[in-house]
Structure 1
Amino acid sequence: MQTAPAGPEAAREEDRRRLVRVAQGEEPGDLLIRGAQIVQPLTREVYAADVLVAGGRVAALGSGFNAARVVEARGAYLAPGFIDAHIHIESSLLTPASFAAAVLPRGTTTVVAEPHEIVNVLGAYGLEWMLAAGRGSGLRMYASAPSCVPASEFECGGAVIGAGEVREMLARPDVLGLAEMMNYPGVLRGDAGVWSILTEGRRSGKRLDGHASGVRGRDLQAYAAAGLHSDHEATTPQEARERLRAGLWLMVREGSAARNLEALLPVLRDSPRRVMLVSDDVSVDELLTLGHLDRLLRACVAGGMHPADAVGLVTSNPAEYWGLHDLGAVAPGHHADFVLLRDLEGFGVLETFVGGMEARPGTSTPPLSGGPRSGGVNLGPGWAGASFEVPAHWPTMQVFPDQIVTGVAEPGAGDARLVVADRYGRGEWASCWTTGTGLRGAALGLSLLHDAHQAVFLGGENGDIRAAGQALERLGGGAVLVQGGEVRASLPLPYAGLMTDRPPAEAAARLGEVTRAAQALGCTLPYPVTTLSFLGLSVIPALKLTPRGLLDVRAWRRLP
């Protein structure tokens, strides 16, 4: 004899049964959005309908419904809640709750975080902390399991993640797949460690995110053949179409350090089916002034896309890609995550709903464990007397204001020195010259440097660089601008040296002080902190600097 299910399963079944009764009019719903224009990316339509909600899910669309509470839309547009399918929350400089306070008012309700920033600092504990913080943030937060910690054999951060740790991460239900496989040379050359991680990804049956900067032709075909499912590194229409033709989902990145949307709009207009808009890395000041996914939608519609197609790039498409079958559409049975919009040109948000309730960000952040897991800054005992000479034969790194790739200039052609120092107590550092930044007479120092998150310093004489490092040690991480040995502006980032739990406006104000102080001393970068934080990422061409030397990424070698 069968027995009735008990516990959580029984409760979930009863919730679904009630949803059916509400849809059939046998019971009233909890919430009714009346008089809305539904933006439906599934059918490429915008049409009038009321939306009935019960138990946090959509029960029915139509008319003639009853509910305990009614919200009058008065013809406003109701779209599914926006989903950022690939984002490093740490790059916003905010903890998840503070990040939610910045993006919920912009219509974002779900994120798939790629927490390899904090995992590079704290190991697998960083993923656990990020998901715990996400549960109290007010957003629906999922994650992908970092695949490249460190990003390559040229980097050495605070942790090393191998196949065993990846397998344990992928076993979590809130981890949706393997995060961006940045070490494409390792994939193509059959590196045993890289392939053991790919094997765990395939065994999980979950998604395998790609990251193939500059990879074209047969190398791209081989990369896709290894089992990767997506890529967000296309910068030209040719690269984008090549990825789609290779069966990869295309993530179009538009963040603070890399802006690819304008160049790829022709592809989106022609082929919106297997495409997503993602922010990847976006700083708090840009979130508050320009917006999050809403600003990407504005650009798409202004560029000629149908509004429903544009909305699909941040709703139904990412939901399909990540297997979030109850998200991404305003439809019966789906979570009642939606955004009420004033219009479909400016995408002005009137109200954001998560689970049928007006969205509110969380108010607390779990603490980080003490000791080595606190993720502070330790530059080693030799830092107080350090000097930072550049080898005369090394080429100069060309820095670009809106890209994370760098170029190559002749030795000695630079105007600002770059120093990268190990912040985990190993006492290592290296220096090179840069051009394209303009900073003079001061040192800008950070404790965030993708992806190993060493300490990085731009400009300045030896004394200012040393003083900036000592200031970072005192703060436990952050961003500082030092001139004449004195700190002129600073942003403390006490969570792993990457994030603050201060309100977004306060964090943006402190970041703005650092930016303006750097620009007043000649820095020409619009977002100097974000751009500087990518000058050590060893898997992005052409030159990158680590504490152990200057890398020629295309040749995949450290310069002698």
Structure 2
Amino acid sequence: MTPETLPTWPDSAASLIAIAAGRAPAETVVRGGKVVNVHTREVLDWEVAIARGRFAYVGPDASHCIGPGTEVIDAAGRYVIPGLCDAHMHVESGMLTPAEFAAAVIPHGTTAMFTDPHEIANVLGLPGVRLMHDEARRQPCSMFVQMPSCAPSAPGLETTGHEITPDDVAEAMTWPSIVGLGEMMNFPGVIHEDTKMLAEMAATADAGKTIGGHYASPDLGPAFHAYAAGGPADDHEGTCEADAIARVRQGMRAMMRLGSAWYDVETQITAVTEKGLDPRNFILCTDDCMAGTLVNDGHMDRVLRHAIDCGCDPLIALQMCTINTATHFGLERELGSIAPGRRADLILTSDLTTLPVEHVIALGQTVAKDGRLTVACPHLDWPAEARETVNMARDLSANDFDIPAAEGAHEVTARVIGVVENQAPTKALTRTLPVVDGCVDTTGHADTCRIALVERHRATGGVTNALVSGFGYTGRMALASTVAHDSHHMIVVGTDAEQMALAANRLRAVGGGVTLWSDGAERALVELPIAGLMSDSPAAEVAAKASALMQAMRDAGCTLNNAYMQHSLLALVVIPELRISDMGLVDVTTFELTDLIETT
């Protein structure tokens, strides 16, 4: 069963009624377990009958639903909990296609996802979003799609491969798996009544669908209230308890994320565990998870365990990644709980705290047992235009990464992007650096690297140069990536211009991905041939290459947790304080371009 073939509840009603009444047999019955009811936060000695991909009967005794052909699953005293929902995530962040992402997370109990493919939207526009949507509908789980809202994320501060328009949004609202508008990252545009942003939100509201939020500012004054008034219904950019409280007080849902590099649950969940706020307005999500995290650590099961470890009651934490999510997207009658008519998504687990995921049913069929996928996750035939997206005008040389200083200068004071471990925001730093042969020299300066943004959509040949601190790299090295949220040009960070040129040219040759070079040799490569963002190889293979990349980064001196995620976000010009784009260095506190070298 897939979302494409799943009968609607009305189409299934007669069959479900007959089974619940005992007049017809169920396809599957789960007996001998303890059903967790997330509507009431009860654990009940109940049984479950399933047919046509939906729950038909949920009650104390399903024996009347069993016929000669019914599959009876003995839960053997285990808990029967709803399948887990990820309320906000980006498939592309896993470096995987929707099919391979589904294959990776289904064994972890994730049966529903709400994905915003704004990464591919920046590269391929609306046709790219449609490709993601269509592959998602083929999967043996529920992958809903939010139409990307902001490509570019900050108009006038970056150039994307394609732009998203209000007409694009209106068209997407007619597609079957679109549930709303993706995160509205252009919060200054909303605050200042930008007509394009308002038109996109209006098209979503007119379709009766959910507007996703993204308010990446610590200012909780009038600007925040203006943003809330614009219509965004949720926000995942909170990093502290005050952020979570402010959002739910405005009628928004606070989405608390635990991704590969974002650890924002522990600092916000105290709004529930200590302040006692109504937990139904809090939701758990991942936002960005790399393939290595999915394969080695888990997905929403990892987030759920973490929330419990942070002191949250297990049943409340479970609500935060099941029924709360479904309710938020207007799908409470469709998924998120074990109740009649809902999509038959459930997990058998022997412990509600450690949450071993022992048996997963999605859309009425067993999809995983004991960590092993038991069904196929079909691929699209991705077209050539989705695989040929690294459009650099030429190979680069070391000189392309020079940072010229004023004539006669012996040293400069330069603005530097400061990486903050485990958080999306950066710091705006300054460094005094020497000038050698007319160019800024970072050689020997502790933890100050070069960073470059290489244009790769329109073959302009443009290279923007700046400085970054926090990675800890040493020696002669460079890391290049065609994953560069959100415009997805190419980001190159390095201590040596020659290594930067080698890394950039390598990605041009292979059609996208991530590569690390040191001392003239390639130390790691993750090929991402689809839009320069994704691989259609299995998650375990991508994870192994990503693991080798992480080791190569450590070998080059980097000690940050999941530093690649930090690298890939350095061009995200909607999160403070300082970022790089193809147009220059961006001060995200003022949303203006700023000079790299301070004038005296």
TM-score by length of 2: 0.89
TM-superposed CA distance for 1:302, in Å, is: 2.4
- The answer on 1:287 being equivalent to 2:321 is no
- Give the alignment of 1:89-104 within 5 angstroms: 89-104=91-106
Q: 1:308 to 1:484 in 2, by over 3 A?
A: same
Aligned-residue offset at 1:207: 0.8
Change in CA separation of 1:507 and 1:57 when aligned onto 2, cut-off 3 Å = same
Q: d(CA) in 2 for partners of 1:93 and 1:483?
A: 23
1:55 to 42, 49, 52: 52
Shift, 1:367, TM fit:
2.8
Residues 190 and 10 of structure 1: CA distance in aligned 2, closer, same or farther (over 3 Å): closer
- Once residues 414 and 71 of structure 2 are traced to their aligned partners in structure 1, the CA distance between those partners, rounded to angstroms, is 68
Instruction: Give how far 1:110 is off.
Output: 0.9
Find out whether 1:422 has 2:426 as its counterpart. no
Q: In the alignment, what sits opposite 1:4?
A: none
How far apart, CA to CA, are the structure 1 residues paired with 2:508 and 2:84? 38
Shift of 1:10: 10
Distance in 2 between the 1:100 and 1:314 partners? 17
Match of 2:421 among 378, 397, 401: 401
Structure 1 CA distance for aligned equivalents of residues 208 and 10 of structure 2: 26
Deviates more, 1:189-198 or 1:481-490: 189-198
Q: Give the alignment of 1:101-250 within 5 angstroms.
A: 101-153=103-155, 154-214=157-217, 215-250=219-254
2:97–2:534 Cα contact (<8 Å) kept? yes
Among 361, 369, 377, the alignment partner of 2:390 is 377
Over 3 Å counting, the alpha-carbon distance change for 1:28 and 1:10 in structure 2 is closer
Contact 2:413 2:430 in 1 (8 A): no
The residue that corresponds to 2:272 in the other structure is 268
Mean CA deviation greater in 202-211 or 472-481: 202-211
Q: Aligned-pair distance for 1:548?
A: 1.7
Contact 2:152 2:487 in 1 (8 A): yes
CA distance in structure 2 between the aligned counterparts of 1:12 and 1:538, rounded to whole angstroms: 43
Describe the shift of the 1:484–1:378 C-alpha distance in structure 2 as closer, same or farther (beyond 3 A).
farther
Query: 2 CA distance for matches of 1:10 and 1:316?
Result: 21
Q: Larger deviation: 196-205 or 341-350?
A: 196-205
Tell me by how many angstroms 1:423 deviates. Answer: 1.0
How many angstroms apart in 2 are the aligned matches of 1:356 and 1:125?
A: 31
The farther-off stretch of 409-418 and 40-49 is: 409-418
- Does the 8 Å CA contact 1:84/1:112 hold for their aligned counterparts? yes
Q: Output the amino acid matched with 1:318.
A: T
Matches within 5 A, 1:476-487: 476-487=511-522
Opposite residue 561 of structure 2, the aligned amino acid is: P
Shift of residue 17 of structure 1? 0.7
Q: Residues 160-218 of structure 1: CA distance to partner in whole angstroms, max 9, x if unpaired?
A: 11111111111223111111110111111122222222222222221111100124121
- 2:344 — aligned with what? 336
Deviations 1:390-441 (A, max 9, x none): 3645311110121110002113475211111111112111121111101132
Partner Cα distance (1:152, 1:361) in 2: 41
Letter in structure 2 aligned against 1:90: E
In structure 1, the residue matched to 2:441 is none
Equivalent residue letter for 2:362: V
More deviation, 361-370/392-401: 361-370
Distance across 2 between alignment mates of 1:381 and 1:492: 20
Q: TM-score, normalised by structure 1?
A: 0.95
1:123 match: secondary structure: helix
Cα offsets for 1:472-529 (capped at 9, x unmatched):
0111111101123321210101111111111111111101111101111101222122
- Give the one of 73, 79, 82 matched to 1:80: 82
**Residue 246 of structure 1: how far off its partner (Å):** 1.0
Which of the numbers 397, 400, 403 marks the counterpart of 1:387?
400
| Partner secondary structure for residue 27 of structure 2 | strand
Instruction: Report how far residue 254 of structure 1 moved.
Output: 1.2
The code of the aligned residue for 2:400 comes to: S
More displaced 10-residue stretch of structure 1: 262-271 or 239-248: 262-271
The answer to whether the aligner puts 1:326 opposite 2:315 as a matched pair is: no
Provide the C-alpha distance between the structure 2 equivalents of 1:377 and 1:384, rounded to a whole number of angstroms.
Answer: 17
Question: Aligned match of 1:21 in 18, 21, 27?
Answer: 18
Which residue number in structure 2 is paired with residue 278 of structure 1? 285
Aligned pairs for 1:445-460 (under 5 A) are: 445-460=480-495
Structure 2 counterpart of 1:435 = 469
Amino acid at match of 1:108: T
Deviates more, 1:459-468 or 1:538-547: 459-468
> CA-atom RMSD, angstroms?
1.8
Name the SS of the counterpart of 2:480 in structure 1: strand
> Which amino acid in structure 2 is aligned with residue 354 of structure 1?
A
* 1:415 counterpart letter in structure 2: T
> What's the CA shift for 1:9?
12
1:260 is paired with a residue whose SS is coil
Equivalent residue in structure 2 for 1:549, among 569, 572, 584: 584
Q: Which secondary structure does the structure 2 equivalent of 1:291 belong to?
A: coil
Contact 2:120 2:531 in 1 (8 A): yes
Q: Offset at 1:272?
A: 1.0
Equivalent residue number for residue 507 of structure 2: 472
Mapped to 2, the partners of 1:196 and 1:32 lie a distance apart of 48
Which residue does the alignment assign to 1:354?
362
Write the distance in 1 (CA, Å) between the matches of 2:44 and 2:463: 60
How far residue 39 of structure 1 moved from its aligned partner, in angstroms, is 1.1
C-alpha deviation, 1:14, in angstroms: 5.8
**Cα 1:38/1:423, change in 2 over 3 Å:** same
In the alignment, the residues of structure 1 paired with residue 464 and residue 360 of structure 2 have an alpha-carbon distance, to the nearest angstrom, of 47
Amino acid at match of 1:138: P
Opposite residue 114 of structure 1, the aligned amino acid is D
* More deviation, 335-344/413-422: 413-422
Q: Which whole-Å CA distance do the structure 1 matches of 2:224 and 2:11 have between them?
A: 48
Please give the alpha-carbon distance, in whole angstroms, between the structure 2 residues aligned to 1:34 and 1:261.
35
SS state at 1:261 partner: coil
